[in-house]
């Protein structure tokens, strides 16, 4: 296994930020990963921070990383028939998410079609309980295998133990920096699929496609089309998708914000009220706005872009701080970053 030094991470993050890793290595199996971690403990400077990488589509490198970056390239998909209606499908961490979803659709397994074209890898999908168009992975997640970084033992976490929330899980909280997800198992339908088309944009797209009785493959095609027309392709313009979470606030706070801004869009979220962060940012005049090398996307203010391709992570971070401050000033609402800041 090769350990590179002073290695550029530019190609390993979808923002296209050029930060250096003091050390960088790629692993293709659990054994290699354990070997690397043991080697690092014995031969590299002590207390070296670790950073695990999937597709690099949900992180912002604000500086060079003075530690060991480990690219997780574990591959493989396996299946186990549960009964006539359901199958368990397990994918290793380094499988590309969208290719995995396409694999399940070729087999006519239902459940993940609404999550088509989300960038990144399968191993990262539980981190923030990825979601889109009315579906989150928690709806089909059964369990994942995780390497405990202290003991180097493999533990299994079931759905409840992962404590999934909106763009959240135990892996972003208590287990942050303590565990690596090695593989993920989903329960999918093999027939009588329950399709979710209630999201307005999907219905509209299906209509345009002339589809009345949508199959899971039709839904995937519709989602892919919507996403391609709405979101900037990171291969062309650096970004990490939604930079902020949609804030949830108490009904009391919402009432006072609504009194000043009666047009504010909102929807219920348990006992709280969720507000689209993109709308708040747009109202503060940030849509399409550029400062230096950084901007928000012209069509979606929630997406921060590396406009010139030359932005540093620090610049992008500072730009995001300005957005947080203006939303706080205008609406009294605190935005939280969805992207992992490194
Ligand atoms: C254009 C675009 C659109 C997007 N749309 C959506 C969307 O609709 N819904 C959504 O939920 N997200 C969306 N995202 C965000 C992103 O795709 C997801 O969060 C994805 O799961 C990140 O996967 P990744 O492998 O690229 O993660 P990375 O960026 O490589 O890693 C993210 C974090 O997880 C850690 N990590 C990576 N792999 C592991 C592992 N195996 N074990 C433990 N920790 C790990 C990393 O250290 C880092 O802190 C979008 C991003 C882009 C660029």
- 73-93, pLDDT tens digit by residue? 999 999 999 999 999 999 999
Q: Report percent pLDDT > 90 for the chain.
A: 95
Our answer on whether the CB atom of 222 is closer than 6 Å to any ligand 1 atom is no
Our answer on whether the CB atom of 110 is closer than 6 Å to any ligand 1 atom is no
Give the integer Cα–Cα distance in Å for 329 and 327: 5
pLDDT at 338: 95
Residue 162 in this model has a pLDDT that exceeds 80:
yes
167 is catalytic: yes
269 or 55, higher pLDDT = 55
Residue 199 in this model has a pLDDT that exceeds 90:
no
Residue 216 in this model has a pLDDT that exceeds 80:
yes
Nearest alpha carbon to residue 5 among 69, 73, 71, 49: 69
123-127, 160-164, 184-188, 209-213: segment of lowest average pLDDT = 209-213
Nearest alpha carbon to residue 187 among 283, 284, 83: 83
Distance 122 CA to ligand 1 centre (A): 9
pLDDT at 200: 73
Domains and CATH numbers, the chain: 4-72 (3.30.43.10), 77-230 (3.30.465.10), 238-341 (3.90.78.10)
Mutate to test the pocket of ligand 1, among 10, 29, 101, 118 (most ligand atoms within 8 A of CB): 118
Residue 1 in this model has a pLDDT that exceeds 90:
no
CB 239 within 8 A of CB 306: yes
Model-wide pTM > 0.85 = yes
Query: Which of 143, 242, 320, 337 is labelled catalytic?
Result: 242
Distance 56 CA to ligand 1 centre (A): 6
Q: Give the residue-averaged pLDDT of 227-245.
A: 94
pLDDT at 168: 94
Give the integer Cα–Cα distance in Å for 297 and 218: 28
pLDDT at 51: 97
Our answer on whether the CB atom of 237 is closer than 6 Å to any ligand 1 atom is no
**What is the tens place of the pLDDT at every residue in 309-319?**
999 999 999 99
Give the integer Cα–Cα distance in Å for 172 and 15: 21
Our answer on whether the CB atom of 246 is closer than 6 Å to any ligand 1 atom is no
178: which 2 tokens?
A: 């303590």
Query: Which of 167, 183, 205, 337 is labelled catalytic?
Result: 167
Residue 283 in this model has a pLDDT that exceeds 80:
yes
Our answer on whether the CB atom of 56 is closer than 6 Å to any ligand 1 atom is yes
**What is the tens place of the pLDDT at every residue in 202-212?**
999 999 999 99
pLDDT at 337: 97
pLDDT at 66: 96
Nearest alpha carbon to residue 193 among 91, 102, 115, 108: 108
Report phi then psi at 83, rounded to 5: -165, -170
Nearest-CA residue for atom 12 of ligand 1 = 130
CA 11 to chain centre: 18
């Amino acid at each position: 296994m090769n350990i590179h030094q002073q290695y550029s991470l530019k190609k390993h993050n979808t923002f296209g930020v050029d930060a250096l890793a003091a050390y960088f290595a790629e692993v293709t199996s659990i054994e290699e990963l354990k070997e690397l971690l043991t080697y690092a403990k014995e031969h590299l400077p002590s207390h070296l921070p670790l950073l695990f990488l999937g597709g690099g589509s949900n992180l912002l490198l604000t500086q060079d990383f003075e530690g060991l970056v480990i690219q997780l390239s574990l591959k493989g998909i396996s299946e186990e028939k549960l009964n006539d209606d359901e199958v368990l499908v397990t994918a290793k961490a380094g499988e590309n998410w969208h290719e995995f979803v396409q694999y399940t659709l070729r087999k006519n397994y239902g459940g993940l079609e609404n999550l088509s074209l989300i960038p990144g890898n399968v191993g990262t999908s539980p981190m923030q309980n990825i979601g889109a168009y009315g579906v989150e992975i928690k709806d089909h997640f059964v369990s994942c295998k995780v390497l405990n970084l202290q003991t180097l033992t493999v533990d299994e976490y079931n759905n409840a133990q992962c404590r999934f929330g909106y763009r959240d899980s135990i892996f972003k909280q208590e287990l942050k920096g303590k565990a690596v997800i090695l593989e993920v198992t989903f329960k999918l339908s093999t027939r009588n699929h329950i399709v979710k088309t209630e999201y307005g944009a999907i219905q509209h797209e299906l209509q345009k496609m002339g589809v009345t009785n949508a199959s899971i493959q039709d839904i995937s095609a519709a989602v892919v089309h919507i996403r391609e027309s709405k979101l900037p392709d990171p291969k062309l313009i650096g970004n990490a998708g939604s930079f902020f979470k949609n804030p949830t606030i108490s009904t009391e706070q919402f009432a006072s914000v609504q009194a000043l801004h009666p047009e504010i869009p909102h929807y219920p979220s348990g006992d709280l009220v969720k507000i689209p962060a993109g709308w708040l940012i747009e109202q503060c005049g940030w849509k399409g706005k550029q400062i230096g090398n950084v901007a928000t996307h012209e069509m979606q203010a929630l997406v921060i872009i590396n406009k010139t391709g030359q932005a540093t992570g620090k610049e992008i971070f500072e730009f995001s701080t300005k957005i947080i401050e203006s939303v706080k000033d205008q609406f009294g609402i605190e935005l939280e970053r969805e992207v992992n800041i490194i």
